[in-house]
């Protein structure tokens, strides 16, 4: 599952979850993966169009902690790389406030 992480160009306002700043909200815009991955992510409420907030990330390509609705979810780095998000206006503002957060 980790093998090929697509490295395509993304528009300016898009990024993947590993690149998103901590404590930032964003909308899921695409999921780079097949039916299996989409179904798996859906069980914990991650699907195109939903809002997620990245809370923290473990060091050295470790898991990433997300907040979806009221629930927190930990997902592996490779999986997070496949989730492309779009900054929401609010999220962009938050991101500017939090530039000191490392990623």
In the bound state with other proteins, the residue whose beta carbon lies nearer, of 13 and 69, is 69
Instruction: Answer yes or no whether residue 2 interacts with other proteins by CB under 8 A.
Output: yes
Q: Decide if 85 contacts 15 (C-beta within 8 A).
A: yes
In the bound state with other proteins, the residue whose beta carbon lies nearer, of 9 and 100, is 100
Instruction: Answer yes or no whether residue 34 interacts with other proteins by CB under 8 A.
Output: no
Instruction: Answer yes or no whether residue 33 interacts with other proteins by CB under 8 A.
Output: no
SS3 labels along the chain: CCCCCCCCCCCCCEEECCCCCCCEEEEEEEECCCHHHHHHHHHCCCCCCCEEEEEEECCCCCCEEEEECCEEEEECHHHHHCEEEEECHHHHHHHHHCCCCCC
CB of 12 to other proteins, least distance (A): 28
CB of 15 to other proteins, least distance (A): 19
Q: Decide if 48 contacts 28 (C-beta within 8 A).
A: yes
- In the region spanning residues 53 to 82, those forming contacts with other proteins, defined by CB under 8 A, are 55-63, 65, 68-79
Residues in contact with other proteins by CB under 8 A are 1-3, 39-40, 42-45, 47, 49, 55-63, 65, 68-79
């Amino acid at each position: 599952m980790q093998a090929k992480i697509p490295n395509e160009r993304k528009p300016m306002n898009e990024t993947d979850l590993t690149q998103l700043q901590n404590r930032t909200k964003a909308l899921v815009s695409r999921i780079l993966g097949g039916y299996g991955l989409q179904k798996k992510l859906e069980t914990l409420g991650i699907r195109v169009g939903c809002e997620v907030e990245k809370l923290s990330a473990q060091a050295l390509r470790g898991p990433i902690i997300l907040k979806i609705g009221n629930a927190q979810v930990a997902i592996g780095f490779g999986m997070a790389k496949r989730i492309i998000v779009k900054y929401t206006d609010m999220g962009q503002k938050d991101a500017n406030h939090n530039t000191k957060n490392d990623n």
